[in-house]
C-alpha cells in the first residue's frame, strides 16, 4: 500500500488571476510544498539537515505531467493528496491529487531525483540514489 499525506491549502485572493481563478503556476507551488511535507511527515529530516548529513539539498523535479479538471477560486479550501507511486534508481514518481471536498480539480504527476551539489562544480547539481534510510521511512 502506498502512503498518502495530505497538505491543506486555503486559496488566497492573490493566488487568483484576472479571470478570478487560481493562476495555474500556483498549483505547482502547492504541489512542491506538498512533496516536501510528504517527506517530513514520513520522518525524513528537513533539507537544511540532510545537506549536512547526506549532502542532499532537495529533490528537484525532472519531469511533470498535470491535468486540470476544474478551476478553484479564493476562499476555497483544498487538499493536496500526495503519495509516491514508484521508485527508480535515482528517481521516484509522486502523484498529487488536488481536491475540493470530493471533487478532483487537478492531478499532477512528478518525477523527482535526490540531488547534491556536483563535486566538480558547485554551481551544478547531481542526482544520487535515494538513501536507503529515507526510502524505508516512506514505504
Task: Point out which residues bind a copy of itself (CB under 8 A).
Answer: 12-14, 16-21, 23-26, 28-29, 32-33, 36, 46-48, 57-58, 60-68, 71, 73-75, 115, 123-125
Shortest reach from residue 1's CB to a copy of itself, in Å: 27
**E strands within 56-102?**
61-68, 77-87, 91-100
Active-site residue among 15, 17, 120, 133? 17
The residue among 77 and 139 lying less far from a copy of itself, judged by its C-beta, is 77
Shortest reach from residue 51's CB to a copy of itself, in Å: 9
Count of alpha carbons within 13 Å of 42, Cβ hemisphere only? Answer: 21
Q: Is 77 a catalytic residue?
A: no
119 C-beta neighbours (distance < 10 Å), count:
9
Using CA atoms, how far apart are residues 79 and 11, in angstroms rounded to an integer?
11
Using CA atoms, how far apart are residues 83 and 138, in angstroms rounded to an integer?
9
63: its cell numbers: 519531469
The residue among 75 and 129 lying less far from a copy of itself, judged by its C-beta, is 75
- Which among 35, 26, 83 is positioned nearest to 62, based on CA atoms? 35
Shortest reach from residue 87's CB to a copy of itself, in Å: 19
The residue among 3 and 124 lying less far from a copy of itself, judged by its C-beta, is 124
Annotated active-site positions, please? Answer: 17
Amino acid at each position: 500500500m502506498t502512503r498518502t499525506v495530505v497538505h491543506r491549502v486555503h486559496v488566497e485572493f492573490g493566488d487568483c488571476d484576472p479571470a478570478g481563478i487560481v493562476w495555474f503556476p500556483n498549483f505547482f507551488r502547492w504541489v512542491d510544498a506538498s512533496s516536501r511535507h510528504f517527506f517530513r511527515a514520513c520522518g525524513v529530516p528537513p533539507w537544511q539537515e540532510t545537506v549536512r548529513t547526506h549532502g542532499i539539498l532537495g529533490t528537484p523535479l525532472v519531469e511533470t505531467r498535470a491535468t486540470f479538471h476544474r478551476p478553484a477560486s479564493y476562499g476555497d479550501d483544498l487538499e493536496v493528496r500526495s503519495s509516491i507511486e514508484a521508485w527508480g534508481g535515482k528517481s521516484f514518481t509522486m502523484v498529487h491529487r488536488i481536491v475540493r471536498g470530493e471533487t478532483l480539480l487537478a492531478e499532477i504527476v512528478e518525477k523527482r531525483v535526490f540531488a547534491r551539489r556536483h563535486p566538480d562544480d558547485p554551481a551544478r547539481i547531481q542526482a544520487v540514489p535515494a538513501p536507503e534510510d529515507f526510502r524505508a521511512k516512506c514505504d
